[in-house]
Amino acid sequence: MEEETGALPAKNDFSSWFNEVLWRAEVMDVRYPVKGLYVWFPHGFAIRKHVYERLREIMDRDHQETLFPLLIPEHEFMKEAEHIKGFEEEVYWVTHGGKNQLDVPLALRPTSETAIYPMYALWVRSHADLPLKMYQVVNTFRYETKHTRPLIRLREITSFKEAHTVHATWEEAESQVRAAIEWYIEFYTGLCVPVIVSRRPDWDKFPGADYTVAVDTIMPDGRALQIGTVHHLGDHFSQTFGITYEDDKGVQRYAQQTCYGISERCIAALISLHGDDHGLVLPSSVAPVQVVIVPILIGKRRAEVNTAAEMMEQVLRAAGIRVKRDIREIRPGAKYYHWEMRGVPIRLEVGPRDIDAGVVSAVTRTGDRSTIPRGDLVPGVQALLGQVTASIKKRATDEIRSRITVAGNVDDVVLAVQTGIAVVPWCGERRCAELLEEKSGGSILGMYVRSELVEGIDGVCPVCGQKGCCTLIGRTF
Ligand code: ZN
């Protein structure tokens, strides 16, 4: 096998780093011959598998998983006016079946409201059918005209987790919105990705929603990346699609709805926040390989070393740890490079000297070196995995905190937006927002809802001097 060499661009050149790490760590291949469509390498797909297992585990507590068709008939897609306005520029249409023109053109779902809600109209009859809570993980298609990039801005989103719920009252739908925000925070906590939750301004809400709450993180270049959204749909869609129920007094009422989604941007955030100059850095919860064993085969004791490595592998695997023994005929240094690039949290080395001392040498992906007694291999490795995750979390939190600045005047906003997010008491007037956006080059992300990273602030709008609400401004992807 060919030995890998060559260094990544330094991570402070984030854009180049991101592009390079995706293929060097075998996450995505960008060479597929359609713009905006990318291919998952098996290693990338294994990361995806573990990440989405966590997401499913959370969703399964309160939802049923389902699967709706990719194709949406034109007459359903065109029903909700605001929704069409929001998506019509981005829709791919299927117009032919073989040589025949279709009677009804079919949209490739850009999102699934108009696929799911005609069926919900059939399924919901009475208050006893509510609440209805379903989700699916599917691909969606959007004809992006902006610069496309893997995991972040795609024409085929391959991994869209979308949940769609139906409730009897507006308040019940609102408490579902709050619950969804908590689940998303839990999900991202599991990925060690710190987030900020804010309510998008009205002009930036989901087309057809009462309001939108977004989950953002801050990327290494200081730009905010939206990595989740939660929408209160009110009865906009239920009126359009006729989703009604009979209440306990026999009166027909329109249902209230929510929807919320997360795409593979969660993996973009995972990779971008934690990676370093040597490649990916993965928390053990989602690392496809948690431990790699590298036997140090020098001198005459090869067989002995190999046996020891094999035993270690068996013991760790039996304890439920995802372990790989690298027995390729290449230099140990090349193996270190290979597994560091792929983000493996722990490397165990075993050679003749370790065997004599009854220990194993351990090196974490976050840079700590230690020895574990052979007899304590499992608890020793488990403790180290926990340490790696804690250290990843601390580093990400410190870095993101350093990119959030409370700004009291327009100049401070401009300065803060250069390196991250400005927190500013904005009055809510659009013309003040426009001035702040124009001066800073950022955009209003939204009114602050919650985060461990920012304290809510009060004060006056730096533009007009009226009382303001804590608002976040930053450049976005
Ligand atoms: Zn103002």
* Whether residue 5 has pLDDT greater than 70: no
Instruction: Say what the pLDDT of residue 182 is.
Output: 97
* Whether residue 3 has pLDDT greater than 50: no
Q: Report the separation in Å between the CA atom of 420 and the middle of ligand 1, taken as the mean of its atom positions.
A: 22
Mean pLDDT confidence for 103-120: 96
Q: Report the separation in Å between the CA atom of 411 and the middle of ligand 1, taken as the mean of its atom positions.
A: 15
Q: Are 180 and 430 in contact (CB under 8 A)?
A: no
Average pLDDT along the chain: 95
Q: What is the Cα–Cα distance from 27 to 50, expressed in whole angstroms?
A: 14
* Whether residue 2 has pLDDT greater than 70: no
Task: Give the pLDDT confidence of 394-408 residue by residue, as tens digits.
Answer: 999 999 999 999 998
Q: What is the Cα–Cα distance from 422 to 395, expressed in whole angstroms?
A: 21
Task: Give the pLDDT confidence of 247-262 residue by residue, as tens digits.
Answer: 999 999 999 999 999 9
Last residue of a domain, one of 329, 354, 387: 387
For residue 211, give both structure tokens.
């309001």
Task: Give the pLDDT confidence of 432-472 residue by residue, as tens digits.
Answer: 999 999 999 999 999 988 788 887 788 899 999 999 999 99
Together in a domain, 234 and 161: yes
| Distinct helix (H) and strand (E) counts, the chain | 14, 24
CATH number of the domain within which 453 lies: 3.30.110.30
Instruction: Establish if 3 belongs to a structural domain.
Output: no
Mean pLDDT confidence for 131-158: 96
2 DSSP 8-state letter = P
Together in a domain, 127 and 267: yes
Mean pLDDT confidence for 225-250: 97
Together in a domain, 307 and 159: no
Q: State the sign of the Cα–Cα–Cα–Cα dihedral 308, 310, 312, 314.
A: negative
Together in a domain, 27 and 160: yes
Report CA 110 to chain centroid distance, whole Å. Answer: 18
For residue 64, give both structure tokens.
């049923």
Q: What is the Cα–Cα distance from 297 to 248, expressed in whole angstroms?
A: 75
Q: Report the separation in Å between the CA atom of 425 and the middle of ligand 1, taken as the mean of its atom positions.
A: 9
Instruction: Establish if 394 belongs to a structural domain.
Output: no
The helix/strand/coil state of 415 is helix
Mean pLDDT confidence for 348-364: 97
Q: Report the separation in Å between the CA atom of 431 and the middle of ligand 1, taken as the mean of its atom positions.
A: 7
Q: Report the separation in Å between the CA atom of 396 and the middle of ligand 1, taken as the mean of its atom positions.
A: 33
Instruction: Say what the pLDDT of residue 4 is.
Output: 54
C-alpha gyration radius of the chain:
25
Together in a domain, 128 and 211: yes
Together in a domain, 336 and 304: yes
Q: Report the separation in Å between the CA atom of 85 and the middle of ligand 1, taken as the mean of its atom positions.
A: 29
Instruction: Establish if 223 belongs to a structural domain.
Output: yes
Q: What is the Cα–Cα distance from 90 to 37, expressed in whole angstroms?
A: 15
Q: Report the separation in Å between the CA atom of 422 and the middle of ligand 1, taken as the mean of its atom positions.
A: 15
Q: Report the separation in Å between the CA atom of 389 and the middle of ligand 1, taken as the mean of its atom positions.
A: 42
Q: Are 442 and 418 in contact (CB under 8 A)?
A: no
Instruction: Establish if 91 belongs to a structural domain.
Output: yes
Together in a domain, 176 and 270: yes
* Whether residue 94 has pLDDT greater than 60: yes
Angstrom distances, CA of residue 317 to CA of 198, 313, 324, 384, 448? 42, 6, 9, 16, 45
Instruction: Say what the pLDDT of residue 162 is.
Output: 98
Together in a domain, 297 and 247: no
Together in a domain, 222 and 270: yes
Q: Which residues contact 359 (CB under 8 A, 6 or more apart)?
A: 371, 372, 373, 374
Q: Report the separation in Å between the CA atom of 207 and the middle of ligand 1, taken as the mean of its atom positions.
A: 25
Place of tokens 């990273």: 453
* Whether residue 36 has pLDDT greater than 80: yes
CATH number of the domain within which 129 lies: 3.30.930.10
Instruction: Establish if 233 belongs to a structural domain.
Output: yes
Instruction: Say what the pLDDT of residue 457 is.
Output: 81
* Whether residue 1 has pLDDT greater than 70: no
Q: What is the Cα–Cα distance from 438 to 458, expressed in whole angstroms?
A: 23
CATH number of the domain within which 323 lies: 3.40.50.800
Q: Report the separation in Å between the CA atom of 179 and the middle of ligand 1, taken as the mean of its atom positions.
A: 32
Q: Is the pTM of this model over 0.75?
A: yes
Give residue 462's domain range: 404-474
Q: Report the separation in Å between the CA atom of 60 and the middle of ligand 1, taken as the mean of its atom positions.
A: 43
Q: Are 161 and 59 in contact (CB under 8 A)?
A: yes
Instruction: Establish if 399 belongs to a structural domain.
Output: no
Give me the number of domains the chain comprises: 3
Instruction: Establish if 130 belongs to a structural domain.
Output: yes
Together in a domain, 110 and 258: yes
Task: Give the pLDDT confidence of 290-343 residue by residue, as tens digits.
Answer: 999 999 988 889 999 999 999 999 999 999 999 999 999 999 999 999 999 999
Angle between helices 377-402 and 265-274 (to 10 degrees): 90
Q: What is the Cα–Cα distance from 181 to 345, expressed in whole angstroms?
A: 29
354-362 — which CB contacts under 8 Å span 24+ positions?
A: 354/296, 354/308, 355/301, 355/304, 355/305, 355/308, 360/312
Together in a domain, 125 and 199: yes
Instruction: Establish if 9 belongs to a structural domain.
Output: no
Together in a domain, 68 and 149: yes
